[in-house]
Amino acid sequence: MILKNNYSLLNYNSFKIDVKAKEFVEVNSTDELKEICKINNRKEILFLGGGSNILFTKDFQGLIIHLNLKGKTIEKIDSNHSIISAYAGENWNKFVNYCLEKNLGGIENLSLIPGNVGSAPVQNIGAYGTELKDVFVSCEVFNQKDCTVKEYNLDDCCFDYRNSIFKTKKHLIIISVKLKLTNKDHYINSSYGGVNDELERLGIKNPTIRDVSEAVINIRNRKLPDPKNIGNAGSFFKNPIVDLKKIEAIKKNFIDIPNFKVEENKFKIPAAWLIEKAGFKGKNFGKFGVHKSQSLVLVNYGNASGKDIYKLSLSIKEVVNKIFKINLETEVNII
C-alpha cells in the first residue's frame, strides 16, 4: 500500500468532478484493509469503489480508501443453481457478462448498471423488473469500528427499494458478495420497461438470458449517457412512493400521471415524469444540466463543479415539491 497526498479524484467518480483527497490509498486485500484501518486514527474516512453513485461538492479533507479487491468463484449447489462469489472491486457490468458467459441467469436485467460489485447491495440495485435482493445470498462485511469481518445474510441487510442497512451504517463495508443464480432452467423476465418491445424489434421470439441482456443494454444506451463520455451518476433521484390519496390529488391537474402499484395503497411515480413536467428535461446550463433523453440524469458536460450540480438538484426538488407536493429523495451520495 502507498499512501498518497492531495490526490486527484477525477478518475474515481463518474461525474468527473475534479476534486482532491487529502490522503488516498488503494487496498487490494482484506488484510491490507485491516492494516490501514488499525493504524489509522483519522476521524474522516471514505471508502470508494467505482465512484458511480457519488457527487463530490468539495475536496475531501480526510482519507479515501479505494477498494480494489478482485476475484470470483462459482460453486454448483444443485442441478439448476450455482452460488457465485465476487469481490467488491469487480466491475459490475463485467461481472454480469462473466455470468452470462458461464450461462448463469438472474442478473441479466441488471446489465450496464455502472459501478462495482461492492456497491450493488448498498443500493439494492434494480432495473427492468429485477432487484439484487432477488438473487442475493449473503455478503462479507468489514466493520470499520473493530476491524472484524462478518457474513450478512438477506435478512441482515434490510433491503428495500434502493436501500439497505449499509446506507445508514456506513462503518459496514462490503468486501464480497454471494448470489444464487440459475444454470439451466432460466426465468426470462422481459415484461418490464419495454424489454419485450426491444426483443420484438430484434426479431427474437424465444429470448435467452443473453438476449434479455442485449435488449436492456440497447434500451439503456438509447436513454442514458455513457459516463465515459458525459459525466453522470445515472439516476440522481429515487422514484417516490405515495398513497392513493396523493395520486388522486395530482390527477386533478395531471390526469395522465403514470403510477405503478407496489403494495396495498402504495404507488410508485416515475421521478423522471415529475421532473419533465416541472420543465427540467434537457435543460442546459452550459457546463452542466439535465440529460435530454432522461430527466433523472444530471450531467457534467465539462468542468462543472459538484456544487453546480448539487444546486441544480436542489432547484429540481424545490420546483417538483411546489407543483406536486412531493419531496424527491436523492439516490446519489452527496459529499
Catalytic residues: 162, 235, 331
| Cα 192–chain centre separation | 18
Q: How many other C-beta atoms lie within 10 A of the C-beta of residue 99?
A: 26
Q: Select from 15, 86, 88 the least CA-distant residue to 47.
A: 88
**β-strands 172-182, 148-153: how paired?**
unpaired
What sign results for the dihedral spanned by CA atoms 261, 114, 75, 160?
negative
Cβ atoms of residues 177 and 86 within 8 Å:
yes
**Residues, the chain, total?**
335
Question: What's the alpha-carbon Rg for the chain, to the nearest Å?
Answer: 20
Helix, strand or coil for residue 37?
A: helix
φ, ψ dihedrals at 178, nearest 5°: -115, 130
Element (H, E) at 7: strand 4-8
C-alpha cell at 75: 460453486
Cβ atoms of residues 183 and 135 within 8 Å:
no
C-alpha cell at 191: 415484461
**β-strands 60-67, 45-48: how paired?**
parallel
What distance in Å separates the CA atoms of residue 173 and residue 303, rounded to the nearest whole number? 31
Cβ atoms of residues 272 and 292 within 8 Å:
no
What distance in Å separates the CA atoms of residue 219 and residue 17, rounded to the nearest whole number? 27
